[in-house]
Amino acid sequence: MAFTDLYYDGFGERWLHALETVAAESGIDSLLIMRSTPTHMIAVVSAGPRRDTYTPGDAGPKSVNPGYHKLYCEQVVNDAAPLHVPDAAADPEWEGNEDLVQFGLGTYLGYPIKGPGGDVLGTICVLHSEPIDFDAGLLSLRQRLDQLRIEIENDLERVAA
């Protein structure tokens, strides 16, 4: 199975409820699973009140395309590491980011999703319109997002076996 083109048939349906639950309980604007291609980040699952900002199949051009600013998720994929941007409007590195400029989503937290071979396939991420505390609560949003990442990676391993 080629995980670089699509996670697997039915992947979006499998994970939508879990993402919707976390988005509703946390009050965040948007919770996404994104797939990485060499030139774009593509929405695979979209949840939360701003789920229509990025619907499954929507593609955001990466900075390898002339004239485009680096995407938050692009940075996560490139570094194979989590990224937290508390307020893109106050951060010169991110002030030109498409999520902030076009949609007013300047707070970001994202984790890389790795496939069965260890390659980073994409991200699971939160976008929000204002700074929020990702560490608040008994089980923080940061912990919940990382738990979802682990469950998704385990699911990909199971399907590939």
**pLDDT at residue 98 is higher than 90:** no
Fold of 11-160: Beta-Lactamase (3.30.450)
Least confident residue range of 2-6, 51-55, 58-62, 130-134: 2-6
- What would the mean pLDDT of 93-97 be, rounded to a whole number? 87
In whole angstroms, give the CA distance from residue 5 to residue 89: 33
Give the model's confidence band at 34: pLDDT under 50 very low, under 70 low, under 90 confident, else very high: very high
Q: Looking at mean pLDDT, say which of 49-53, 64-68, 78-82, 128-132 comes out highest.
A: 78-82
| pLDDT surpassing 50 at residue 5 | no
Average pLDDT over residues 57-75: 93
Tell me the C-alpha distance between 124 and 149, whole Å.
7
**Any idea of the CA torsion for 129, 133, 139, 142, to the nearest 10 degrees?**
70
Burial label for 2, CB within 10 Å (0-12, 13-18, 19+), is exposed
Tokens of 71: 């995407």
What is the C-alpha to C-alpha distance for residues 96 and 87, in angstroms, rounded to an integer?
12
- Residue 120 burial (CB count, 10 A): 16
Minimal CA–CA distance to 44: which of 154, 122, 146? 122
Task: Give residue 7's pLDDT band: very low, low, confident or very high (50, 70, 90).
Answer: confident
For the chain, the structural domain boundaries read 11-160
pLDDT-derived band at 6, boundaries 50, 70, 90: low
